[in-house]
Structure 1
Amino acid sequence: MTEHAHLSILDFCTIYEGETAGQSMQRSVEMAQLAEELGFSRMWYTEHHNMPTITSSSPAVLISHIGAKTSSIRLGSGGVMLPNHAPYLVAEQFGTLAELYPDRIDLGLGRAPGTDMHTLGRALRRDSHAAERFPEDVKELRGYLAGKSLIPGVQAIPGANTNVPIYILGSSLFGASLAAKLGLPYAFASHFAPQHLEQATSHYRTHFQPSESLSAPYVIAGVNVTAADTTEAAAAEFDRVGLRRVKSFAGRGKNFSDSQIKQIRDSYQGQQILDMLKYSAVGTASEVRDYLEDFQRLAQADELMISLQSTTHDEVLSSMKILASAWALDPAHVAGAPA
């Protein structure tokens, strides 16, 4: 059997119904502490804006808080949406984190907005063409962190010479091509954008050019997990996850009844939404393990970035424990993934 990939957790910092943003963040601390205890490699946090059920609008701030509450697990962005920011400011922020938490910080970079177009233009005041500069912005940011600024006389302080590891995030050949060309690790968002997984990871591995920071290709693939003590319990929970997702996407700003949401779920539009969860391991410990082993081979993945799909915090923690047991994680042996 192929050696098991490293396992990491992607935390969306969900705000559950009746909960405050502060309570959500406290749960993220608890989640990271448990992940560290169980032996997961890293925790990543997403950048989203104007989303009522997600608190991770500022990954750097969240990482700083969680870093103070943990001791060894790697923490990073999955990712910072670089076109929303000046590369120099990102270098300073993650340089600060690297100085506070040496050898524990990752910088995943994406080029999507992480929000709706109204928020993008009016609130973030982002240039609609900013994403076109993504490759150049990555190079500029990389220069700051390596102490080799592309702008004469400008250094990121802190940031210079921290060499915070950069990961290119993507769901298409664009990100795969850029990561391969720059010799950077590549993370594919197959947990919600499954369409081009095999094509993108194969392209990345075939065209990878070694760099000072990475000598061989390294692939992280996102995958959903809903684990329970019985097959039936996991399936029932995953069904609830699907209904919640349909309500979030199709019912945003509308007050649909449960029966109406189920009707939408069974429609063509609803199935398109559920298709985003194509790569999902649902079942008992052994069923989840078998699925992830097959997915690892399909994705040619060195590491799996797990999105735990449950409708309550207690279910998330239970799923995490079952997953750690299924994958036989050992807290003493999580090294090996590129820093």
Structure 2
Amino acid sequence: MITVPISALEVAMVQTGARVADTLRDTTEFAQRLEELGYLRLWYAEHHHSPAIGAFPPVVMTAHAAALTSSIRLGSGGVLAPNHAPIMLAEQFGTLAALHGGRIDLGIGRGPGTFDDSTARALRRGAGPTTDDEYRDDVSATLRFLVDEVALDPLPEPWLLSSSTAGAALAAELGLPIAFAHHIRPDNTLAALNHYREHFSPSRWCARPRVLICVETVCADTEEEATRLAGPMVVVKAALLKGRGDLAFPTPEQAATHAFTEEEAQALTGFRAQQAYGSPDTVAKQLANLVDVTGADELMLVTPVYALADRLRSYELVKQHVVLPTAS
């Protein structure tokens, strides 16, 4: 059984043959259903210039979902600091937290959110990639503006997103809870979390190390069905391994006919072994093992499958295997 809270990451996959408006409609139903299922939080990722992932600003998605729900925590997972002025992030998410009963999270990440260089430059008004020092300054400034300029009550809960030891070091230095992208860089997970815990400095935001692990999860009634549903993202991921973000999100039928190189197949098999795919019992064991190995305080599931009904079914099946300890 899974004995930690579970949450969800929305990446808003745009299905081949569907309208972007259909994807947005699905995100609304998804948020409402996750709240009914009792998921702790739902975060929205920032992406740009991708035919497979909708370019929907996390702050807008958070505001929309917050207006249509009442209990689930909502926020960014993450909003990308290099693309935004720190004071604007503080004002936007501070306002949302005050409007919606303190159930807003501000997850901050570093990447550009795109594989397209011209889009990345446009997001930063012509500037190049952010340096380590610039990123640290942006995160620190955002936190400072939350307290000194926004000063609303309650404030959003800040998190630092990381896929490396460098990001974990910054989260530890600033005393922030960490959301680790195991679904992107699983080979970095243990070393980064060890560094985070060893070097953590308590702050007004977090008194002790606090770890959320994001894991790619596809759960279905049978192993075979889970494999079929995972197929489209496997095709997209093969392209991402080559630095290509221009591939549309295929149907399961299209994905089933895709031919992978031997190198791609080997890399994808290794990645899959560190995520959670399969029947309910299989996925529950994989997720429980990940908690045991990493010491995670919370799991965040990302389920990039083609149809909303299949995605919701995956979250329903996993939730049936969650048993949280009762307070003594």
Q: Please, which moves more after superposition, 275-284 or 93-102?
A: 275-284
Q: Which residue of 1 aligns with 2:138?
A: 137
Q: In structure 2, what is the Cα distance between the partners aligned to 1:229 and 1:32? A: 22
Q: Which amino acid aligns with 2:33?
A: L
Q: TM-score, normalised by structure 2?
A: 0.89
Shift of the alpha carbon at 1:175? 1.1
Q: Which has the higher contact order (CA 8 A, sep 6+)?
A: 2
Change (3 A) 1:200 1:261: farther
Residue 316 of structure 1 deviates from its aligned partner by 0.3
298, 307, 311: which one aligns with 1:303: 298
Report the AA paired with residue 83 of structure 1. P
CA 1:123 to 1:217, structure 2 compared with 1: closer, same or farther past 3 Å? closer
> 2:218–2:229: 8 Å Cα contact kept in structure 1?
yes
Identity, in percent, stands at 34
Distance 2:7 2:255 in 1: 36
- Distance change in 2, residues 1:99/1:144 (3 Å): same
CA distance in 1, matches of 2:233, 2:209: 34
Distance 1:259 1:21 in 2: 21
Q: For the structure 1 residues 41 and 254, does the alpha-carbon distance in structure 2 shift closer, same or farther, using more than 3 Å as the test?
A: closer
Q: 310, 315, 323: which one pairs with 1:315? A: 310
Distance 1:124 1:68, change over 3 A: same
Matched residue, 1:37: 36
Residue number in structure 1 paired with 2:205? 213
Whether the 8 Å CA contact 1:238–1:310 is kept in 2: the answer is: yes
Amino acid at match of 2:203: S
Kindly indicate whether the alpha-carbon contact (under 8 Å) linking 2:4 and 2:297 is maintained by their aligned counterparts in 1.
yes
CA distance in structure 2 between the aligned counterparts of 1:81 and 1:24, rounded to whole angstroms: 22
Query: Residues 61, 185 of structure 1: CA spacing in aligned structure 2 closer, same or farther, 3 A cutoff?
Result: same
Are the counterparts in 2 of residues 242 and 274 from structure 1 also a CA contact under 8 Å? no
CA contact (8 A) 1:46 1:79 kept: yes
Matched, 1:66 2:65: yes
Q: Gapped runs of 5+ residues in structure 1?
A: 148-154
Partner residue in 2 for 1:191: 183
Q: Is the 8 A contact 1:75 1:106 kept in 2?
A: yes
Q: 1:276 to 1:58 in 2, by over 3 A?
A: farther
Deviations 1:224-260 (A, max 9, x none): 1111112222233334542343367667658999699
8 A Cα contact 1:166 1:184, kept in partner? yes
If the length of structure 1 is used for normalisation, what is the TM-score?
0.86
Unaligned runs of 5+ in 2: none
Deviations 1:58-96 (A, max 9, x none): 110111111111111000100010011110011111112
Question: Residue 102 of structure 1 aligns to a residue in which SS?
Answer: coil
Q: How far apart, in 2, do the equivalents of 1:105 and 1:194 lie?
A: 27
2:161 to 164, 169, 181: 169
In structure 2, what is the equivalent of residue 243 of structure 1? 235
Q: How far apart in 2 are the matches of 1:314 and 1:271? A: 30
- Deviation of 1:287 (Å): 1.3
- Which residues in structure 2 correspond to 1:88-99 (within 5 Å)? 88-99=87-98
Q: Contact 1:88–1:141 at 8 Å: present in 2 too?
A: yes
Are residues 177 and 126 of structure 1, via their aligned partners in 2, closer, same or farther at CA, if it must alter by over 3 Å? farther
The one-letter code of the counterpart of 2:301 is I
Deviations 1:169-202 (A, max 9, x none): 1111111111111111001101122121000011
Aligned-partner Cα distance in 2 for 1:219–1:120 = 29
Cα offset, 1:129, TM superposition = 4.5
Q: Distance in 1 between matches of 2:93 and 2:282?
A: 38
Higher mean displacement: 236-245 or 92-101? 236-245
CA spacing shift, 1:137–1:80, aligned 2, 3 Å: same
The answer to whether the 8 Å contact 1:7/1:40 transfers is: yes
- Seen in structure 2, the aligned counterparts of structure 1 residues 100 and 56 have a Cα distance that, compared at 3 Å, is farther
Change (3 A) 1:161 1:103: closer
Decide whether aligned partners of structure 1 residues 252 and 197 sit closer, same or farther in structure 2, where only a CA change above 3 A counts.
Answer: closer
How many pairs align? 321
